[in-house]
Amino acid sequence: MSNPLLQAFFVGRALAEVANERLEVVLTDALSEIGKFDAEAREQLRQFTEEVIERANRAANAAQAGQTTTGSSQTGADGVDLQATIDELRAEIALLRNELQRYRSSSV
């Protein structure tokens, strides 16, 4: 090629073709990843929904079975331990509130 203008044309044309091919590959890969992410997110949402509904149904069935037989689904030992834990947590919350009030009043 003796004409530099003609050579520049073909180099520019080749550059545009290669850039177009690479851009096509990158765009295709990106769209593929987005599609996979969307499918995975939908599947996780479906599984999450099923699990929530399943747990709600089990809880409703357990509550209904507890109401028809004994009126309570917990036995004495479990109820006492749970109540003791709740009381301890309430005491800790009250202590933390007092400490927070003391801190706020001293920093003013």
In the predicted model, residues of the chain with pLDDT beneath 50 are: 70-73
Q: How far is CA 6 from the centre of its chain?
A: 57
| DSSP for residue 101 | H
pLDDT digits (tens, 9 = 90+) for 46-55: 999 999 999 9
Same domain, yes or no, for 64 and 84?
A: no
Same domain, yes or no, for 59 and 94?
A: no
CA distance 40 to 28: 18
106 Cβ partners below 8 Å, 6+ apart? none
What is the model's pLDDT at position 72?
47
What is the model's pLDDT at position 29?
92
Same domain, yes or no, for 81 and 68?
A: no
Same domain, yes or no, for 64 and 81?
A: no
What is the model's pLDDT at position 81?
82
| DSSP for residue 70 | T
Helix (H, G, I), strand (E, B) or coil at 5: helix
Question: Which two three-digit tokens encode residue 97?
Answer: 């509130």
Domain count, the chain: 2
The domain of 82 spans 75-108
Same domain, yes or no, for 24 and 39?
A: yes
Helix (H, G, I), strand (E, B) or coil at 108: coil
What is the model's pLDDT at position 70?
47
